[in-house]
Amino acid sequence: MRMDPSTSSPPGPVPGGDEVAELATLLTRSSRGDEAAFATLYDRTSSRVYGLARRVVRDPAQAEEVAQEAYLEIWRQSARYDGSRGSVLGWMLTIVHRRAVDRVRSSESSRERDTRFAILGDGPEYDVVEEAVTASIDAARVRKALTTLTDVQREALTLAYYGGYTHREVSELLDVPLGTIKTRMRDGLIRLRDTLGVEL
Amino acid sequence: MTSDSPDIHTMSGAYALDALEAAEAAAFERHLESCEACRDEVRSFREAVTSLGDDVAAPAPDRLRASVLASIGAVRPLPPVVPVDVPSDPAEASVTPSGSVTPSSAPLQSIGGKALPQDELAVRREARGRRTTRLLQAVAAVLAVVAGATLWHSVSLDRQLTAVSAAAADVTSVLTAPDATTVSSPVSGGGRAAVVVSKGQGRAVLVTDGLTPAPAGKTWQIWYIGASGTAAPAGFVPAGEQAAVALVGDPATAAAVGVTLEPSGGSAQPTTRPVLAVKV
């Protein structure tokens, strides 16, 4: 069952029913203490987990720590995943994202973050730092979807999600009133969701 | 700052992006308990946001795989949250959210199956009640361990146990106070917590269940948060899968209780984003 680590975790095809069901099965087996199932779950998800942590915290060493902590939490909480509240991958990436955001928002990182924004300058684009992204249909699909957003929607989404900024900080960064930012985040997600054809 | 201000529905996007401050996120989570439209919306947003992860996928270093798989070998997955309020040990008392101690004749709510979702909200409320009850059962278990420990304690532990027993008596006193009120909330990063306040006694207790252990050199510090956002140290969360601690100071002047990760020994003021913020 275990995949060779050197070829592990390609981003994979468009997440369809097969992947969704497979991840759910692997998580269920993990919750019963099945370490081999968890190893496979890791192989199926590690590039997305690590990539997201890396994108938010930037520093590769810290990204590894965040990913490591997140996987440990996923293992611990595996029996408490609630399928009625979303997909396994969504649940996992929520855990990863929250940890990454906590990391960048801690005071230790605040100085680095200020520097980072100075480097970004104004009008940051979602792909301003090109990751070693495996070319994939998914990434292209997401980028295409992002282009359907207005500038403010896209910037609000990417600063919050990839940058780990709070809505207040995003409001300051973009010099747009807080109430407007909140609605742009929501409008942007509605459009992204509809463009990507997210199934409920 | 109220949890039901008219524009709370518009926070769903910021919430799904983890862009709310901890206290706002906690308020929105309370709103979610009673707003099915927002729950559905957040669920769909989560999936859209998950797609954003596809765009930044990057191969993880091989050593990450090795260290993750090595670390899980030493950690037991948490048990599921079981939908039945029956203490496994018949001698173990359960503590109800109202604060009264009851014997173990807890009602069988849905043994062997799922509650029928005729009214999802009611089911969720019930689930929340069960979780709170479970937290308080955890306290009973902790207290039982403290009591049991006196049977086999070594001399070197004597002083510690005396202190622990006194602390346990404080906890029990608040939990069983006739005016005890309980507010519970999920903890960001895993687990749940409940704050039990007795205004009459001027004391509060924090109960945790399934909190992620603080990393080496760090500790979970508790704060009383004033209406203007000022924070006063109120103690530390004890280690353990399930824990209960009496807070330092009177909750009367506090608007909320918060928990942050701090360096061992604690900080004078919070230095990280709160993982928990509940109004009291």
- On the question of pLDDT at B165 being above 70, the answer is no
CB B184 within 8 A of CB B192: yes
Q: Residue A153 pLDDT more than 80?
A: yes
Mean pLDDT across A83-100: 92
Mutate to test the interface with B, among A41, A50, A183 (most CBs of B within 10 A): A50
Among A8, A92, A97, the strongest candidate for a mutation testing the B interface, having the largest count of B CBs within 10 A, is A97
pTM summary value: 0.55
Q: Write out the two tokens for A92.
A: 């996992």
Give the residue-averaged pLDDT of B24-35.
90
Q: Chain A partners of B272 at a C-beta cutoff of 8 Å?
A: 102, 105-107
Q: How confident is the model at residue B26 (pLDDT cuts 50, 70, 90)?
A: confident
Question: Distance (Å, rounded) from C-alpha A52 to C-alpha A142?
Answer: 14
Chain B stretch 237-276, residues whose beta carbon is closer than 8 A to a beta carbon of chain A:
261, 271-273, 275
Q: Answer whether A101's CB lies under 8 Å from A56's CB.
A: yes
Q: At A135, which amino acid appears?
A: A
Q: Which of A8-22, A36-50, B197-211 has the lowest mean pLDDT?
A: A8-22
pLDDT, position B68: 95
Instruction: Please write the tens of the pLDDT for every residue from B203-246.
Output: 898 888 778 888 777 888 998 888 777 788 899 988 777 778 88
Residue A139 confidence class, pLDDT cut points 50, 70, 90:
confident
| Cβ–Cβ contact A65 with B under 8 A | no
Q: Does A132 touch chain B (CB under 8 A)?
A: yes
Q: Is the pLDDT of residue B202 over 60?
A: yes
Chain B interface includes A145 (CB < 8 A): yes
Per DSSP, the three-state class of A156 is helix
pLDDT digits (tens, 9 = 90+) for B106-148: 333 333 333 333 444 555 555 555 555 666 666 666 555 544 4
Task: Return the DSSP state at B112.
Answer: T
Query: What does the CA dihedral B160, B163, B165, B171 come to, rounded to 10 degrees?
Result: -130
Complex-level ipTM beyond the 0.90 threshold: no
**Cβ-proximal residues to B266 (8 Å cutoff; 6+ apart), any chain:** B219, B221, B233, B236
Beta carbons of A173 and A179 less than 8 angstroms apart: no
Whether residue A9 lies within 8 A of chain B, CB to CB, comes out as: yes
Give me the sheet containing B276-279, strands edge to edge: B231-236, B218-225, B256-263, B276-279
Strands (E), chain A: none
